[in-house]
Structure 1
């Protein structure tokens, strides 16, 4: 996809919804956009400030109707976890979000950073920005977003690839 400028990229939205949908970057851009200047906090101790442009996650999710048993949103990456502590095969990186995170106006799917298309190294063509969380919740190279019933049924049941390896999330808003 990268070699062709991500022209055939599609964001898949599904899981526990009445009808699954998919969108190209151009289709997402046509739905509207927001710009946020926010601080990125890393659990390794560094921070950085950038201007992000994209669409609110809640606005994209409003285009699908979740079923009654949908309780969490899971975001999955094209990228794989670099190392599995249990020695197993690597799996696509994922994180689960509670509805309160999804409803945050600063929780966006970003396609631009500092006025330029989002570079591949920072998660282009599309990455999650959940600025109330540490960076590991902000999935790069977003492939699929789905409503799920319980994150305990996914991976090791801790709510995300990093949590499965023993890390905890908390509100990192500065």
Structure 2
């Protein structure tokens, strides 16, 4: 496993080792002992989620508040996505800044997102299947979000506006300054 810090404290790019042979490949997508050794974080994931989306689907920017906040480990099982996180930790040196990375079935990269971040992604391939681990259970009452196109965040989603597919719920999210 190769672990690389991002510009946002506490978030990491995880590159698992890939073992290829004539049958295909094998990866160990998560190892708690190695994760703790490389990041210094003792994470216990309690929920795994999976989503399938078509080209241009944008999901986000989502987060949960208070005791229901979640850390996540994101990976693409199929296809390619542009994954985006925004630091919403008041008092953080990088408050209001974002980080984005292309995650794909080819590059096998994963993104670890600590609690206190908003998260979203857009599908860059014909379709994508995304898997993510969470260290806390989903709680509908603590679910919040930020509108994807907030000009103060200046996120380049890599897909033209006319090709985006966004839920009405995500289109009604507030601006960053109002969260």
Q: TM-score, normalised by structure 2?
A: 0.25
More RCO (CA 8 Å, sep 6+): 2
Comparing both structures, which one devotes a greater share of its residues to strand?
Answer: 2
Q: TM-score, normalization: structure 1?
A: 0.25
Q: Which has the higher helix share?
A: 1
